[in-house]
A and B are shown apart, each in its own frame.
Chain A
Amino acid sequence: MALACPVVLDTEQLRGEVSNIYARVASNPDDNFHFHRGPAYAAEFLGYDVQELAALPREATASFAGVGNPHAIAAVRPGETVVDIGCGAGMDLLLAARRTGPQGKAIGVDMSDAMIERASRAARLAALNNVELRKGDATDLPLADASVDVIISNGVLNLVPEKENAFREIVRILRPGGRLQIADIVVEKELSEDIRSNVELWTG
């Protein structure tokens, strides 16, 4: 996992493209995309529990577009404060909220207004009062230093060109002993500079 993107890349263009694509996923998850969405994909490809997903509002699960399963890495324990970076419509966030319980807290951060709105609605429908949504991005997290027990994220950090800043923020907000449980895209072959600087390949 490279921390810096060693190519010339229009990061604002990339940020805009990513925001547009995921706003479309939020508003119309059944539209055509190059990646899978939804609870059936999450269960079949990523090992999520079918019954747990069925118990969540469709607002949270239909737009799910993760690439792995942070909850399969280690269990969130009751009372923990969990942050989901790039929470999207909130599927992983609501699962975390269920696990940490009323003594804990699940905080979702996303840069898309559409996703924040969708995740907020899903939390209300699920009657989860320990969920907070905050607008922000991975390179400038709206959280205090050393305030978090567990950071989860699913398919987000690969879309951030300034990975060094994102990981600096992760280190800043995690408590000593805190856990990083992320699912993301890994590239197992060396890529040429042409490929790494192609915004279309980053987003699509």
Chain B
Amino acid sequence: MEVLSQLGFSDVRVTHRFDCFRATTKEQTARKFGVRGANVFGRKL
């Protein structure tokens, strides 16, 4: 988020999170490392 702000985006935020690896062979790995899908918004200044 900070990086996007530094690049000139305002109103930067995560709007949604998704458990996109659920019920895949990578589910355990994803949980171990805290990996998930996320929607991110930013508006260019």
Chain A interface (Cβ < 8 Å from any Cβ of B):
1-3, 34-36, 45-47, 66-70, 72-74, 155, 167, 171, 174-189, 191, 195, 201, 204
Given A1-B4, A45-B22, check contact A69 B35 (CB 8 Å). no
Interface size class of B (residues with CB under 8 A): 20 to 34
* Residue pair B24, A36 in contact (C-beta under 8 Å): yes
In chain B, residues 19-36, which have Cβ atoms closer than 8 Å to a Cβ of chain A?
19-26, 29, 33-36
Q: How far is the CA of A69 from the CA of B19 in the complex (A)?
A: 12
A-B contact count (CB 8 A): 109
B41 adjacent to A180 (CB under 8 Å): yes
Q: Would A183 and B24 count as touching, CB distance under 8 A?
A: no
Given contacts A185-B36, A187-B34, A189-B33, contact A177 B18 (CB under 8 A): no
**Which residues of B are interface residues toward A (Cβ below 8 A)?**
1, 3-4, 7-9, 14-26, 29, 33-45
Nearest CB of B to A71, in Å = 9
Cβ contact within 8 Å between A167 and B3: yes
